């Protein structure tokens, strides 16, 4: 099993990611503006609160001429305090409701963009990736965006503004000493938080990495449920999963301990500053230079400043985490597909369906060449068969024709147009493939067939079903076409799956057809029926048929015999038999087997 890869484990966080979020904010300018207005009003209300409190305390504390306290003024102030509080909270709620729409839209857009991009990336990227880890990365990235937008706009900037505001007010009303203590505390707090958070980032990343890789492993193991059972390997799987979970647990522990250090340090700074300010206020009160109300105000202000500041520590940490997650996800967006459309790619036009492979060489990895300078032609309307030992590169030919990969040398052209010069979309539109290993969507049979052409009418689907000899099977099903095929189509038999795949491709009606072992899972009776159906459908189309069982391709116009990535022979069945070479040998061997077992022609390879 491959380890889940992280692109940027030790890179610094790039704040530039933030810039990419601006367009999403601009999309809802009005909303963002109103949300900001709510924010400003709420902050004004909250800054007023300590003052109202101060006057309430002072008016309670000032006896009138009769020596008793007049209740009207403090009562009015208390009610004012309540109203301001409510105002403050309600404005916050309104702000969040207004802004929610903006973050959700941004998350939707980014989610879709990444999804589209993943489909643009080439096959080799997907073969190297682990779906479980990938989905976790996307999940963390999109929720990171939501978090970042909300807190950047409504937390960091406003809290900093509020601090400046309050420091100014304190200086204005009570002189330099209180303002200085507060300012020093804020600076110490921010410096400490930034440094400590930076130090902790490592542990956070380790934790995410452990999270993704344990998720990858769990998904991979569950996808291979049957294989696990075939080999009685539940305990082995569980042990391996637990190994990953143990790493995750350890990473969590380190993360928690470092968090403890961070929070502890922050608490020490806050407590010292608060004690200092309160002590100074108490001294002033004892000296008569401040009232009890001032003392209460000071308490309220320090609480009011340090609470959001404390929160800021959390937000800063989360934002760093979010930035790393977003970056990880945007890193996916930056990944360039190996196979791309040329800037001036044209639309493929298929007039006759002449396919030409010229000196095609190919390697999945540079150090292991698979195809060696192959040249052959598929004449318009011809049925061309490809035979050869397993691993000789037959399916690779199909992948190259479909442009899952680009050839290493040489070229492939259709009706004179190099397939690299046309758009992938137009190329793939013209080619229908029944792949060697058909995988179905976990949906109904009808939807799986309709996938060949989402606009197909029901009667066209019925027709495709008849052509693919699926009728008998579907009639037997209690739910008919609505039957669900299960995860990857495992609830239908291999032969049924192949016929569904054939029906799906027939529905697409492309001018060029490729069948890669399309009948390998069928018994010889069903096979003959399908082979003749395919022949009927393929009439007038250029088709390529890859087969192990030579009996299914004796009627081919041309047979290409491959061995070890080289084209060793070609010709019609009769010509090749007369040659007494590779093909003749293969034929002889299969004939021998079929005499021993006439019902079932077994496969070579
Ligand atoms: N994505 C890949 N990365 C690396 N090597 C690959 C990849 N896909 C296939 N190969 C290798 O390329 C060679 C040719 O594979 P290919 O699937 O074309 O064989 P084939 O002729 O279709 O065989 P079969 O008859 O068994 O289907 C094989 O040796 C295989 O291991
Ligand atoms: Mg193959």
3-state SS string for 247-278: HHHHHHHHHHHHHHHHHHHHHHHHHHHHHHHH
| CA proximity to 266, closest of 180, 201, 193 | 193
**Do 205 and 107 sit in the same domain of this protein?**
yes
CA angle 4, 7, 11 (to 5 degrees): 135
Domain boundary among 494, 509, 524: 509
What does each C-alpha distance from 25 to 35, 104, 107 come to in angstroms?
12, 11, 12
Q: What is the pLDDT of residues 218-241, one digit of tens each?
A: 888 988 888 899 889 999 999 999
Q: Are residues 481 and 526 in the same domain?
A: no
Q: How far apart are CA 462 and CA 19, in angstroms?
A: 53
Q: Supply φ then ψ for residue 172, to 5 degrees.
A: -60, -45
Same domain, 180 and 231: yes
Q: What is the DSSP letter of 4?
A: P
Residue 269 lies in a domain: yes
Kindly state whether residues 359 and 328 are assigned to the same domain.
no
Q: Decide if 256 contacts 222 (C-beta within 8 A).
A: no
User: What's the pLDDT at 63?
Assistant: 67
Domain containing residue 128: CATH number: 1.20.1560.10
In a domain, 211, yes or no: yes
Q: What band does 69 get if pLDDT is binned at 50, 70 and 90? A: low
Q: Which of 126, 370, 435 to mutate to test the pocket of ligand 1 (most atoms within 8 A of CB)?
A: 370
Nearest 5°: phi and psi at 379?
A: -70, 150
Q: 362 falls in which pLDDT band (50, 70, 90)?
A: very high
Share of the chain above pLDDT 90, in %: 29
For residue 569, the CA-to-ligand 1 centroid distance in Å is: 20
Ligand 1 centroid – CA 498 distance (Å)? 20
Pairing of strands 383-388, 542-546: parallel
Rounded to the nearest angstrom, the distance between the alpha carbon of 584 and the centre of ligand 2 is 21
- Ligand 1 surroundings by CB, under 6 angstroms: 127, 364, 370, 390-396, 436, 605
CA of 218 to the centre of ligand 2 (A): 29
User: Contact, 519 vs 357, CB < 8 A?
Assistant: no
Same domain, yes or no: 158 and 246: yes
Instruction: State pTM to two decimals.
Output: 0.74
The reply to whether 450 falls in a domain is yes
* Residue with CA at minimum distance from ligand 1 atom 2: 364
Residue with tokens 């976790």: 136
Residues 419 and 324 reside in one and the same domain: no
Look up the CATH number of the domain holding residue 386: 3.40.50.300
In terms of phi and psi (left: phi > 0; alpha: psi -120 to 50; beta: otherwise), the region of 354 is beta
Residue 54 in domain: no
Q: Whose CA is nearest to atom 29 of ligand 1?
A: 391
What are the percentages of helix, strand and coil residues in the chain, rounded to 5? 65, 10, 25
Both 479 and 537 in a single domain?
no
CA distances from 314 to 43, 150, 259, 262, 321 (A): 20, 14, 10, 10, 11
**Structural domain includes residue 300:** yes
- Distance CA(143)–CA(454), nearest Å, equals 32
Contact 550, 587 (CB under 8 A): yes
Q: Which one of 509, 543, 561 terminates a domain?
A: 509
In sequence order, what are the beta bridge partners of 346? Answer: 422
Confidence of residue 604 (pLDDT cuts 50, 70, 90): very low
Q: Is residue 244 part of a domain?
A: yes
As a whole number of angstroms, the distance between CA 47 and CA 62 comes to: 24
In this predicted structure, what is the pLDDT of residue 68? 60
pLDDT per position as a tens digit, 273-309: 889 988 999 999 999 888 888 888 888 888 877 777 7
| Ligand 1 atom at minimal distance to the Cα of residue 388 | 21
Same domain, 220 and 317: yes
What pLDDT is recorded for position 11?
46
Q: Whole domain around residue 409: which residue ranges?
A: 340-367+381-430+515-600
Q: Clarify whether residues 257 and 357 are in a common domain.
A: no
Structure confidence by residue, pLDDT tens digits, 323-334: 878 888 888 888
| Residue 594 confidence (pLDDT) | 63
Q: Residue 66: which pLDDT band, with cuts at 50, 70 and 90?
A: low
The alpha carbon of residue 96 and the mean position of all alpha carbons in its chain are separated, in whole angstroms, by 27
Asked if residue 182 and residue 119 are part of one domain, the reply reads yes
How much distance in Å is there from the Cα of 463 to the middle of ligand 2? Answer: 29
Can you tell me the distance from the alpha carbon of 207 to that of 198, in angstroms, rounded to the nearest whole number? Answer: 15
End-to-end CA distance of the chain: 27
Q: Which ligand neighbours the alpha carbon of 392 most closely?
A: 1
- Mark whether 404 and 537 lie in a shared domain: yes
Number of domains in the chain: 3
Whole-number percent of the chain with pLDDT over 70: 93
Question: In this structure, is residue 158 part of a structural domain?
Answer: yes
DSSP code of residue 340: -
Q: pLDDT class for 597, splitting at 50, 70, 90? A: low
**Which structure tokens are listed for 33?**
């503006």
Tokens matching residue 329:
């996800």
Cα–Cα distance measured from residue 203 to residue 426, given in angstroms and rounded to the nearest whole number:
48
In a domain, 40, yes or no: no
Cα distance between residue 386 and residue 374, in whole Å: 13
Q: How far apart are CA 563 and CA 503, in angstroms?
A: 31
Domain check: are 259 and 390 in the same one? no
């Amino acid at each position: 099993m491959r380890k889940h890869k992280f692109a940027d484990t030790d890179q610094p966080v790039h704040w530039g990611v933030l810039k990419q979020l601006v367009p999403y904010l601009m999309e809802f300018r009005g909303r963002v503006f109103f949300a900001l207005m709510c924010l400003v009003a709420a902050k004004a209300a909250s800054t007023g609160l300590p003052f109202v409190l101060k006057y309430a305390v002072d008016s309670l504390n000032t006896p009138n001429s009769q020596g008793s306290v007049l209740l009207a003024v403090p009562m009015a102030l208390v009610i004012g305090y309540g109203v301001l509080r409510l105002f403050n909270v309600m404005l916050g709620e309104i702000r969040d409701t207004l802004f929610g729409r903006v973050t959700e839209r941004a998350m939707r857009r980014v989610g879709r963009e990444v999804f589209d991009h993943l489909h643009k990336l080439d096959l080799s990227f997907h073969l190297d990736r682990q779906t479980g880890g990938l989905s976790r990365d996307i999940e963390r990235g999109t929720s990171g965006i939501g978090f970042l937008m909300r807190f950047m706009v409504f937390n960091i900037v406003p809290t900093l503004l509020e601090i400046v505001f309050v420091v100014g007010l304190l200086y204005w009303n009570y002189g330099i000493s209180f303002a200085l203590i507060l300012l020093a505390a804020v600076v110490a707090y921010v410096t400490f938080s930034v440094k400590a958070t930076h130090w902790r980032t490592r542990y956070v990343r380790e934790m995410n990495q452990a999270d993704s890789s344990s998720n990858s492993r769990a998904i991979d193991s569950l996808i291979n449920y049957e294989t696990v059972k075939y080999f009685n390997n539940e305990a082995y799987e569980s042990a391996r999963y637990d190994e990953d979970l143990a790493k995750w647990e350890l990473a969590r522990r380190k993360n928690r301990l470092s968090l403890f250090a961070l929070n502890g340090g922050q608490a020490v700074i806050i407590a010292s500053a608060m004690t200092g300010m309160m002590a100074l206020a108490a001294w002033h009160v004892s000296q008569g230079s401040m009232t009890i109300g001032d003392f209460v105000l000071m308490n309220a202000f320090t609480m009011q400043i340090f609470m959001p500041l404390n929160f800021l520590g959390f937000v800063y940490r989360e934002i760093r985490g979010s930035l790393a997650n977003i970056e990880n996800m945007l890193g996916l967006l930056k990944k360039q597909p190996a196979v791309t459309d040329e800037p001036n790619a044209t639309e493929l036009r298929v007039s006759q369906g002449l396919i030409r492979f010229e000196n095609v060489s190919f390697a999945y990895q540079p150090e292991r060449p698979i195809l060696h300078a192959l040249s052959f032609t598929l004449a318009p309307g011809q049925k061309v068969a490809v035979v050869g030992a397993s691993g000789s590169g037959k399916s690779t030919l199909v992948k190259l024709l479909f442009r899952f990969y680009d050839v290493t040398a040489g070229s492939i052209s259709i009706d004179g147009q190099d397939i690299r010069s046309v758009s992938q979309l137009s190329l793939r539109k013209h080619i229908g493939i029944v792949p060697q290993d058909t995988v179905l969507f976990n949906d109904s049979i009808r939807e799986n067939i309709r996938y060949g052409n989402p606009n197909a009418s029901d009667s066209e689907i019925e027709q495709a079903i008849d052509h693919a000899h699926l009728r008998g099977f579907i009639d037997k099903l209690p739910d008919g076409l609505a039957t669900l095929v299960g995860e990857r189509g495992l609830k239908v038999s291999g032969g049924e799956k192949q016929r569904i795949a054939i029906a799906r491709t027939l529905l697409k009606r492309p001018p060029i057809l490729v069948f890669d072992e399309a009948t390998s899972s069928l018994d010889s009776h069903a096979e003959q029926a399908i082979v003749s159906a395919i022949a009927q459908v393929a009439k007038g189309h250029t088709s390529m048929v890859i087969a192990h069982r030579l009996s299914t391709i004796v009627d081919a116009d041309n047979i290409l015999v491959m061995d070890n990535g080289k084209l060793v022979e070609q010709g019609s069945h009769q010509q090749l038999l007369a040659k007494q070479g590779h093909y003749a040998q293969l034929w002889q061997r299969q004939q021998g087997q079929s005499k021993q077992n006439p019902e079932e022609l077994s496969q070579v390879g």
